[in-house]
Structures are given as structure tokens and as C-alpha cells.
């Protein structure tokens, strides 16, 4: 039962540390920093809890009992962290669908003309931030000859292309 409680506690600790770090100074490559921070916190938090359980036997009854239970706990904490990492880009930047919903909702009962949506949702708002994210994460470089993928970006792109083919989805959105 402790696996069900301690795994989410490890993620919650990681989330709090993530929030504190972002309040102090948001990293340039947020995705990579987030993955490192969450992974390190889950493993580090598990190690600290294990040591505390050894030092204080009364605490041990609330913690996983053996190596298998600790492995499950860490895997659970990492799984929750991975789910968060996957949703983070939608939280971090303006999600087009959420912006559209917000614009329509703010327009009141009369709605919003499509032409006004097109006017407000231009490339500076939708495309440029994503290109900047690619460059900041080291997935692309924006040079004199245009925007090019780095080896890291090509590798990630290949993974998604294969995955979409497996799912029977086209390359486009």
C-alpha cells in the first residue's frame, strides 16, 4: 500500500522543487531541465526516505518494505513525472485550442467572427514560439541559411514519424 502513497509523494516533492526552480530562474531548455529535475528528485527523494526509514524504525512502517516495493515506488513516481513532462508543453506555451476557446468565450454571447480569429492567431502567436522552443531545446538551429534540425532534432523527428506510422496516422497534424 505504501507504493500507492509514496510514489505520488515523490512526484509531489519533484513538482514543488520544479515550481521553486522556475520561480527563481526558468531554464533555457525547459524540457530537458524538467526531465532531469523530476528524475533526480524521484530517485533522490526515494534514497532520502529509505535512509530515514533505516534511521527511524517508526517511519519504516509507512515506507516500502523491500527492494521490489522500492522499485515499484520509484517506477510509479517516474511514471507520474513522465505524464507531467508530456503535458507540460501544452501548459508552458499558448495552446492554440485553449487560446481559441478563451477568445470565443471572452467575446460574449454574440460569438466571434472567424476573420477576427484569423487576425488574432497569426504566425507570431502560433508558429514563432514553437520555433523558439525547438531552438532553445537544441532540436533546431536558426542560422543565415534558415532553420535546420540538429542531430538531436532529427532523431526525435524519426521517432515521431515511426510512431505515427505505427498508429496509421499521417505525418501532418
Based on its alpha-carbon atoms, the radius of gyration of the chain, rounded to whole angstroms, reads 21
Please tell me the distance from the alpha carbon of residue 73 to that of residue 95, in angstroms, as a whole number: 32
Arithmetic mean of pLDDT, 16-43: 92
Mean pLDDT of 141-164: 87
What global pTM score does this model have?
A: 0.66
- What tens digit of pLDDT does each residue of 65-103 get? 889 999 999 999 999 999 999 888 767 766 777 788 888
Banded model confidence at residue 156, pLDDT cuts 50, 70, 90 = confident
Over the stretch 8-19, which tens digit does the pLDDT of each residue have?
A: 999 999 999 999
d(CA 92, CA 76) in angstroms, rounded, equals 24
**Domain limits of the chain?**
2-92, 96-148
Helix intervals (H) in 56-127: 57-60, 67-92, 96-106, 114-120, 123-126
pLDDT given at position 166: 84
Amino acid at each position: 500500500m505504501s507504493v500507492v502513497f509514496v510514489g505520488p509523494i515523490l512526484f509531489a516533492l519533484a513538482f514543488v522543487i520544479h515550481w521553486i526552480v522556475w520561480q527563481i530562474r526558468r531554464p533555457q531548455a525547459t524540457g530537458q531541465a524538467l526531465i532531469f529535475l523530476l528524475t533526480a528528485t524521484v530517485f533522490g527523494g526515494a534514497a532520502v526516505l529509505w535512509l530515514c526509514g533505516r534511521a527511524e524504525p517508526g517511519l519504516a512502517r509507512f515506507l516500502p518494505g523491500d527492494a521490489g516495493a522500492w522499485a515499484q515506488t520509484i517506477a510509479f513516481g517516474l511514471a507520474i513525472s513522465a505524464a507531467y513532462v508530456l503535458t507540460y508543453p501544452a501548459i508552458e506555451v499558448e495552446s492554440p485550442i485553449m487560446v481559441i476557446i478563451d477568445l470565443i468565450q471572452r467575446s460574449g454571447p454574440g460569438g466571434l467572427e472567424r476573420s477576427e480569429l484569423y487576425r488574432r492567431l497569426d504566425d507570431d502567436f502560433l508558429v514563432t514560439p514553437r520555433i523558439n522552443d525547438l531552438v532553445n531545446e537544441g532540436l533546431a538551429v536558426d542560422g543565415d541559411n534558415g532553420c535546420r534540425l540538429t542531430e538531436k532534432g532529427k532523431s526525435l523527428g524519426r521517432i515521431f514519424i515511426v510512431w505515427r506510422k505505427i498508429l496509421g496516422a499521417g505525418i501532418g497534424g
